[in-house]
């Protein structure tokens, strides 16, 4: 899959999975707008790696929990280059059950994990004109379709993002394909890390997904025609089945 000449905005792409997606797409020719909130040093490192391979990269800071800043991210990115797609990856993952969920945790989690993807998607659709086409990819979690009692605000936000994916796929058709990738165990979260022995038995395929599989899935969903839209692909080894 050749992304030469394409420009992709990836939120939360200075670290972890966002970083891996940015580097993989750049390795396949894409130019990348690297969004970060606080990780400026890491964002610059990702940009330097991409530029060293001959691709273009830009970094942009935005606090996506602030809707006013979220509304401006796509227009600001467009000043670098017209966007061909966006990946709504930035998220927070608080460890809490209902009795630990304060109003601040609830509002902050939904602001970043749900409201920001909506505002970015809306801005992207408004920027495309005429016959221009594009792609939106939302990063979900296997928990989105199998909610439990833990990670309450996070799970609710990702479940709602799954619904938003299906709704916007209809609203933005036929020019913009809107799909989602529901991830399982790839990189463990920082803090309170369960061991592989805790996780693997719950995965039907008995293994973690690889970065190569993540990259291939992202590239597939960003390179398809709008005939594939409103799809949620699970990259979780079957974890959502249990």
Domain 7-241 = CATH 3.40.50.720: yes
Mean pLDDT of the chain: 89
Whole-number Å distance between alpha carbons of 44 and 58: 9
Residues 6+ apart with CB under 8 A from 134: 83, 84, 85, 86, 124, 128, 175, 176, 177
- Give the pLDDT band (50/70/90) at residue 93: confident
Q: Is 158 a catalytic residue?
A: yes
In this structure, what token pair is assigned to residue 152?
Answer: 């309450």
- Of residues 122, 158, 202, 206, which has the active-site annotation? 158
pLDDT at 241: 47
Residue 77 has pLDDT above 60, yes or no: yes
| Sequence spans of domains, the chain | 7-241
Helix (H, G, I), strand (E, B) or coil at 2: coil
**pLDDT of 157 above 80:** yes
Mean pLDDT, residues 35-42 taken together = 98
- pLDDT grade for 226, boundaries at 50, 70 and 90: low
Please enumerate, as own/partner, the contacts of 64-67 that have beta carbons within 8 Å and a separation of 24 or more: 64/11, 64/35, 64/37, 64/90, 64/111, 64/112, 64/116, 65/108, 65/111, 65/112, 65/116, 66/111, 67/111, 67/115, 67/116, 67/119
pLDDT in tens, 172-190: 999 999 999 999 866 655 5
* Statement: the pTM of the whole predicted model exceeds 0.75: yes
- % of residues, the chain, pLDDT over 90: 69
H helix or E strand, kind and range, residue 57? strand 57-61
């Amino acid at each position: 899959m050749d992304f030469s000449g394409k420009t992709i905005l990836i939120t939360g792409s200075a670290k972890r999975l966002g970083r891996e997606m940015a580097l993989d797409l750049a390795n396949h020719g894409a130019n990348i707008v690297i969004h970060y909130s606080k990780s400026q040093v890491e964002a610059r490192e990702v940009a330097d790696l991409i530029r060293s391979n001959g691709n273009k990269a830009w970094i942009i800071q935005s606090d996506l929990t602030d809707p006013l800043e979220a509304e401006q991210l796509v227009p600001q990115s467009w000043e670098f280059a017209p966007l061909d797609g966006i990946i709504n990856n930035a998220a927070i993952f608080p460890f809490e059950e209902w009795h630990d969920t304060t109003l601040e945790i609830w509002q902050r989690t939904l602001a970043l994990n749900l409201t920001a993807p909506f505002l970015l998607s809306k801005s992207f659709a408004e920027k495309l004109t005429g016959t221009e086409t594009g792609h939106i990819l939302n990063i979900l979690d296997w928990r989105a379709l199998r909610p439990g009692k833990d990670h309450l605000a996070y799970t609710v936000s990702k479940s709602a993002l799954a619904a938003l994916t299906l709704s916007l796929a209809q609203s933005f058709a036929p020019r913009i394909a809107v799909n989602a990738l529901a991830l399982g165990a790839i990189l463990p979260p920082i803090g309170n890390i369960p061991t592989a022995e805790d996780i693997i038995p719950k995965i039907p395929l008995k293994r973690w997904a690889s970065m190569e599989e993540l990259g291939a899935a992202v590239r597939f969903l960003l390179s398809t025609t709008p005939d594939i839209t409103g799809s949620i692909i699970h990259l979780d080894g079957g974890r959502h089945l249990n």
